[in-house]
Chains A and B, each alone.
Chain A
């Protein structure tokens, strides 16, 4: 089973005037995320609430979960409603918040200051420590402490 990066609330909105669609997993909460799976020889889409989406591994940056409700934080951020658009793809900051996705690689430069706190909160870091293009990846060596980096910073176990 694989799922595309889920859309946010807009993906599972109920028809105008209708009752909100319920999560197809728990059947309790309003659905907020749509996922795709292949099962029974068919492509099927499911609507999940943010809680189930996170638990089942389909959450994204902007759904409530271990990282909190970051979308609300974004909307309230200073400058969240200005008219700045990315020169490469034309995305506004609101477009990124709404979709949970950047429009192009340049968006990260255009909206760097506003994205950085959320990226830090999400990953527990904003410092890439992995592969650098043009250099080969270091060999995997087993052993050594388990390094965990998440909300709250780095822990060794």
Chain B
């Protein structure tokens, strides 16, 4: 079965993926930060019992991963594939993950909240992600009876998530807006609207890849529908601005030259660092969307973005790689992905 990120979604030229997270808690039990390991395991057992009950409508969807039993590299690989939040890896005792086969749906157990349900889709399909999260939430609430107050909504560990408990986000590829500095201005303007646009990567290091995450911050007083509609509308505006900025940029021969050279490096390099890969794939993706580079499917690029991350490469190799080995394997994987696509595209990467 294909993973969700190997597929291509709507507006993939700019939108990489959509994600909806719903934070939920069990009644009458302290939140995970106030539980010892045994207490967390009891919560985990309760959730697993509900999911894998013989009458459960979702037992066939999920498999369970015990975070305690993983090696560090395996756990980090989960975070790289966006199946767990980074903070979920700090203190893994009593924590678990339910994950679907295509990795589009998962549940983080005993993070900040007892239960964090996540649904992801490729491209700009925010409603699909939301519908799936809602469907699973509705099913599991029947047996888990999540903590809820008619006035304050779903009761979450952080008061910032009270209400819907929902954080919806869209990952956007914004090379033109990042290049012009517009992305930072847009981010500042969005804060008062209760939305956040931030670069994906290391906040303390140089940015790579021009990938930004747009997410909602308001959860109380807005319905899920309103929050998703708002997010979709703002994302649509940013996508339109990025397209306009790209149209201005592609007039210059220098940009086309840079994109062509970047593709040349990806096709021929023997050593590739992850940051370098992100910078190059960003320019190539932009060149492909603009039409002056041959099209490689966005699903192929989405797959690379996940697979060639450091911990995932080590996991695939089945051993701890040296820095040079990691760079060499990354270069091999990337070369293979771009090889044999001289026909102008991997046209078989639809949603099937």
Contacts and interface: CB of A to CB of B under 8 A. Distances in A.
Interface string B168-182: 000000000000000
20 contacts: A1-B200, A3-B85, A5-B112, A39-B201, A41-B314, A52-B203, A57-B213, A91-B34, A101-B112, A101-B157, A119-B162, A128-B149, A128-B163, A130-B222, A131-B154, A134-B141, A138-B224, A139-B225, A140-B228, A148-B218
Contacts of A143: 229
B65 interface: no
A141 interface: yes
Nearest to A143: B229
A1 B255 CA distance: 28
Interface of A: 1-5, 24-25, 35-46, 48, 52, 54-57, 60-61, 66, 88-91, 99-106, 108-109, 115, 118-119, 122-134, 136-144, 146-150, 154
A128 B162 CA distance: 8
A3 B201 CA distance: 11
B204 interface: yes
A21 to B, nearest CB: 13
Given A103-B30, A103-B31, A149-B222, A2 B85 contact: yes
B160 A61 contact: yes
| Interface of A: prevailing SS | loop
B112 A146 contact: no
B157 A5 contact: yes
Contact of A45 (B90, B150, B227): B90
Interface string B55-95: 00000000000000000110010011010111111100000
B25 interface: yes
A54 B5 CA distance: 29
Contacts of A45: 90
A157 to B, nearest CB: 8
Given A38-B86, A88-B28, A134-B141, A123 B204 contact: no
Interface stretch (B7-15, B191-199, B282-290): B191-199
Nearest to B200: A1
B149 to A, nearest CB: 6
